[in-house]
Amino acid sequence: MNAFRHAMARILGQPLLGLAVVVALWFWAGMIDRATVQLLSFLMLNILLAQSINLLTGIAGQISLGHAGFFAIGAYAAGVLTKSHGISVPLALILAVALTAAVGWLLAIPAGRVKEFYLAMMTAGFGLLCFEIAKEWSSVTGGVVGLSGIASPTLRNLKVLGWTFDAVDLFRAMLVATAIVLLLMRNLVQSYHGRAFFAVQASEIAAGSMGIARGQVKRRAYAISGAMAGLAGALYAHLVGYLGPDSFGIMRSVEVLVMAIVGGMGTIVGPILGAALFTWLPERLQVFAEYQFMVYGLILMVIFLVLRRGIAGALTEPTRFIAVRAMAAARAADTKPAAPAPATNPGPADRPALLEVRDLARNFAGLVALDGVSLSLRPGRITALIGPNGSGKSTLVNVVSGIYQPSRGHVVLDGEEIGGKPDHMIAQRGLIRTFQDPRLVPSFTVRENILLGGQRHFRSPMLAAALRWPSTLREEADMVRRAEQVMALAGLDGVADQIIDSLPYGYRRLVEVGRAIMAEPTVVLLDEPAAGLSEAELGRLATMIRHLRDTGKAVLLIEHHMDFVNDIVDDVVVLDSGREIYRGDMRGMREDPAVIAAYLGVGQNDHA
């Protein structure tokens, strides 16, 4: 079965196969009857709609139950502009796409503030609002009567650049438009922009810790998704020549979502398969149309129970998201992975601090989690942050990294106050952290998760990534080479192309630390990275942490594994109940009465 899926993945991933399908459909359209051409035209529309919801929900993780709203905006915009204002069809299409993209961008602002059920209800409300506007704004949309007389092959008045389009010509134009959109989407998903979408879907907090501005990512996902649905709507208007509000109800949104889910969310080929199924199926269910949605429900139940990753998941392996040309360029360069940096003496303790925490406090509804903590992290030194559970260690890391706002005090990174700034801005300035539980993209390979660490160093704009400009491929190839070096350092090169979700827990820990190294930070905060690791894995982790120190990084290590800490740290700070109770070296810590009391839960006098 795995061999079959691997073979199918290779076949379906070939660009020449897609080109061959486009060419075959182009010529076949001239030899078939009008009804079949019409059906193929609706297939193109459904592919665009399914891919638009796939990008937003399957890739960026933003639930939408109101996608028919974008479809309606694109359709009515194109219809009104051409019929009522005499604007040419190509320009009307461009304006309709731009309008739906703008609406998507604006919708993302309130949508970015809610999640899950509330997000679903808000987007459903957007769809219902668009439906009501189409029904009630009769002076523009025609209301319940509808908008008729739109240029279409049926009326034989659809002209593009002086050429009168018949049904076959329009289908061919839709075929080319759909192929271009799919190509651009594939390129975008395989770029670092696409990896940012997946990172936000997997964990918004982890995405922010890598320097990904999740608000901006969501707005881009909504805008692109809206533009694709708007294009489908504009083409639909000229395909049928008549627009009525009933075509844009809530069931249309549900149908679009079902297409993508059944085909396989998070892939490129999945929504195509789902669109093909649900374009063909209604034609076969006309005899018992009243049971049509019961059949849809049955299909969904089967998919959720048997094929949880959809049709595409059953046929192919998970889609890879690294640009193939970039990978080839990286390997062609034949750059050998860099060996781990040789061990050196720790940096002197009097070097200027890269990170200074001064009198930091954090309260939670009256509970004092941090109470006036101060510490300095210096380049080339590893500082251990130790304390019993509930002492405030993780809270300190969360405040410093921007997840929590400080109640009092200052956090200064390389001379700049960062206290209270958003987590992604702090990460972009060079402070990178890991988490108690590894937060990775489960559908990504080891290499792809490592590459996410380089997000803050990418510079190629989204358009360049979608068009796959040479500069973008060179940038991607450079990052792939750096990822190979990090994997060699961590001993992960043997599992580079394995899905992270299929690997043992220890590998995930090492991958998360490798992702932090990939970011080339100035300060690294490691939150219990040794938890759950075997002896061999602890050795790899120690090598990685020493590499950070030896390359001049300031490292803060939260850890309960005292033997592991004893071998690699230079300084120790101990917290208890949100306050510092010890600062010094490991030997002094083991003998300090306050530390002993904190861990044993006895008073100093009792211990003595």
The answer to whether residues 87 and 234 belong to one domain is yes
Q: Is the pLDDT of residue 605 over 50?
A: no
- What is the predicted pLDDT for the residue at 542? 95
- Other beta carbons within 10 angstroms of residue 470's beta carbon come to 10
- pTM here is 0.90
Phi-psi region of 420 (alpha: psi -120 to 50; beta: other; left: phi over 0): left
Report the CATH number at residue 183.
1.10.3470
Residues 278 and 169 in one domain: yes
Among candidates 312, 308, 404, which has minimal Cα distance to 361?
A: 404
Q: CA 127, CA 256: separation in Å to the nearest integer? A: 13
Looking at this protein, which amino acid is placed at residue 506? G
Question: Is the pLDDT confidence value at 454 over 60?
Answer: yes
Residue 451 is assigned to a structural domain of this protein: no
pLDDT digits (tens, 9 = 90+) for 364-406: 987 899 999 999 999 999 999 998 888 899 999 999 999 999 9
| CA distance linking residue 100 with residue 501, whole number of Å | 36
- Note whether residue 273 is domain-resident: yes
pLDDT at 334 > cutoff 80: no
| Beta bridge pairs of residue 431 | 523
Count of C-beta atoms within a 10 Å radius of residue 564 = 20
pLDDT digits (tens, 9 = 90+) for 497-538: 999 999 999 999 999 999 999 999 999 999 999 998 999 999
* CA–CA distance, 290 with 392 (Å, rounded to integer): 61
Residue 518 lies in a domain: yes
Q: What is the mean pLDDT of residues 263-274?
A: 90
* Backbone torsions φ then ψ of 248, nearest 5 degrees: -130, 30
Residue whose entry in the numeric block shows the structure tokens 């130790």: 386
| Rounded (5°) CA angle 417-423-428 | 75
Give the contacts of 362 (CB within 8 A, at least 6 positions apart).
368, 369, 370, 392, 395, 399, 404, 405, 406, 407, 578
Number of independent structural domains in the chain:
2
For 233, the domain range is 2-316
429 and 294 together in one domain? no
The percentage of the chain sitting over the pLDDT mark of 90, rounded to a whole number, equals 68
Which of 264, 296, 316 delimits the end of a domain?
316
Query: 311 with 360, same domain?
Result: no
Residues 396 and 540 in one domain: yes
Whether residue 363 is found in the same domain as residue 309: no
Q: What's the chain's average pLDDT?
A: 88
**Which residue shows structure tokens 């219902």?**
128
Same domain, 233 and 186: yes
Within-domain flag for 144: yes
Answer yes or no: are the C-beta atoms of 578 and 369 closer than 8 Å. Answer: yes
pLDDT over threshold 70, residue 48: yes
Residues 41 and 155 in one domain: yes
The answer to the question of residue 322 being in a domain is no
- Domain termination site, one of 316, 339, 368: 316
Helix 67-83 crosses helix 214-240 at what angle (to 10 degrees)? 50
Average pLDDT over residues 550-560: 94
The string of pLDDT tens digits covering residues 51-100 is: 999 999 999 999 899 999 999 999 999 999 999 898 999 999 999 999 99
> Has residue 298 been placed in a domain?
yes
Q: Are residues 158 and 219 in the same domain?
A: yes
Q: Is position 234 within any domain?
A: yes
DSSP 115-135: -HHHHHHHHHHHHHHHHHHHH
Query: Where among 257, 292, 316 does a domain terminate?
Result: 316
* Residue 143 sits in the same domain as residue 231: yes
- What is the share, in percent, of the chain residues with pLDDT greater than 70? 88
Average the pLDDT over 226-232 and give the result: 97
> For residue 329, what pLDDT is reported?
63
pLDDT tops 50 at residue 343:
no
The secondary structure of the chain in percent helix, strand, coil, rounded to multiples of 5, reads 60, 10, 25
pLDDT range class, residue 16, cuts 50, 70, 90: confident
How large is the average pLDDT for residues 120-148?
93
Tell me if 565 sits within 8 A of 586, measured CB to CB.
yes
Q: Is 583 helix (H, G, I), strand (E, B) or coil?
A: strand
Whether residue 149 is found in the same domain as residue 236 = yes
**Is residue 341 in a domain?**
no
Q: Check whether 8 has a pLDDT greater than 60.
A: no
At 366 the pLDDT is 79
Task: Clarify whether residues 312 and 391 are in a common domain.
Answer: no
Of 319, 327, 268, the residue nearest 473 (C-alpha) = 327
CATH code of the domain containing 409: 3.40.50.300
pLDDT value at residue 341: 47
pLDDT of the residue at 587: 87
